Structure 1
Amino acid sequence: MDLKRQQIHAFTVAGLRVRTTNAAEHQPETAKIGPMWGEFFDQELAETIPGKSANSPIYGVYSGYESDVSGAFDVTAGVAVNAPAKDYESVLIEAGEYLVFEAQGALPDAVIATWGRIWTFFEENPQIKRRFATDFEAYTGPESVAVYIGIR
């Protein structure tokens, strides 16, 4: 697995937000992330959120962690903005060091598989600790995503 470490400067993402758990996402009747992304694309929010930063990719941001992979967390589908956007949820991506997991392939399958790789990586490398502050997906093309995991 070709991993990069990258320093990220803080930035703000605005869009739609849901609160969920990994357990809830494994059951179609309780999953919230897929329907939120459906609404995001149906409403064409990537093009209409006010104050969008030039050339912003679409982001999926994980924040508000209750604890670790077993606790509740927030997911925001959005774009980088120059200032919080009225009528949309905003989240600040924390500055710091991130591990970057890249994937190519049909979405959402490629991103789901990447999260599986991420969980396996941290199980096999307990010396590397996640921050559980902000993590994010940057959709860099129609079939490419980079997942940034904050580390200590």
Structure 2
Amino acid sequence: MTIRKVSEKILHGLSIRTDNETEMSTDKGKIGALWQQFDKTVDVDYKSGERVYGVYFDYESDASGQFNVLVGFDGKNRPVSVPLQKVVIPAGQYLVFKHKGEMPQIAIDGWTEVWDYFADENAPQQRAYSTDFEFYPNGNEIEIHIAIK
């Protein structure tokens, strides 16, 4: 993992409100269905450089509280069959966890590493619980950016 300074990014996509307890339940989780809906309704122009993101924001508190998730892309907001929402990833310092391999295992492994890292009360960085995001450079790579204090 590395610390990276990130510039502000504006994304458009679909969002829901959830919590980790709901997402740990195979029959109640909302994030997987959100990704499926995004894939069906939004054509991402990968050839021109557009990329996909998963953004976690509006945290109620910490890992036990509710938060919003937006599945989106860094292209222009364009007409699709459902209205897209806008989210701004603020500029700042992020701790980046990278994984390569097959989806969805790399996302599971990446978030497990995030939770393990911040579960250590002696971790050098503290999580801000402001805006975190997943960046997908390609289909078999994930970079999880966690906002730090």
TM-score of the aligned structures, taking structure 1 as reference length: 0.87
Q: CA deviation at 1:46?
A: 2.3
- Matched to 1:120, the amino acid is D
SS class of match (1:20): strand
CA displacement 1:76-130 (0-9 Å, x = unmatched): 1111145x66721111101100011000111111111110110101112444211
The list of structure 1 runs, each at least 4 consecutive aligned residues, that deviate by more than 4 angstroms after superposition, is none
Do the aligned residues in 2 keep the contact of 1:14 with 1:81 (CA within 8 Å)? Answer: yes
The equivalent position to 1:122 in structure 2, one of 118, 121, 126, is 118
The equivalent position to 1:141 in structure 2, one of 126, 138, 141, is 138
**Correspondence 1:94 to 2:90:** yes
Distance 1:78 1:45 in 2: 11
Q: CA deviation at 1:29?
A: 2.0
Distance 2:53 2:92 in 1: 17
Q: CA deviation at 1:16?
A: 0.5
The aligned runs of 1:25-40 (5 Å cut-off) are 25-40=23-38
The equivalent position to 1:76 in structure 2, one of 67, 70, 73, is 70
Count of residues in correspondence between the two structures: 144
SS class of match (2:102): coil
Residue 63 to residue 85, structure 1, CA distance change in 2 (3 Å): farther
**Correspondence 1:63 to 2:57:** yes
Structure 1 unaligned regions, length at least 5: none
Distance 2:118 2:44 in 1: 32
The equivalent position to 2:148 in structure 1, one of 143, 146, 151, is 151
RMSD of equivalent CA atoms: 1.8
Distance 2:101 2:69 in 1: 22
Distance 1:13 1:71 in 2: 24
TM-score of the aligned structures, taking structure 2 as reference length: 0.89
What is the match of residue 104 of structure 1? 100
SS class of match (1:128): coil
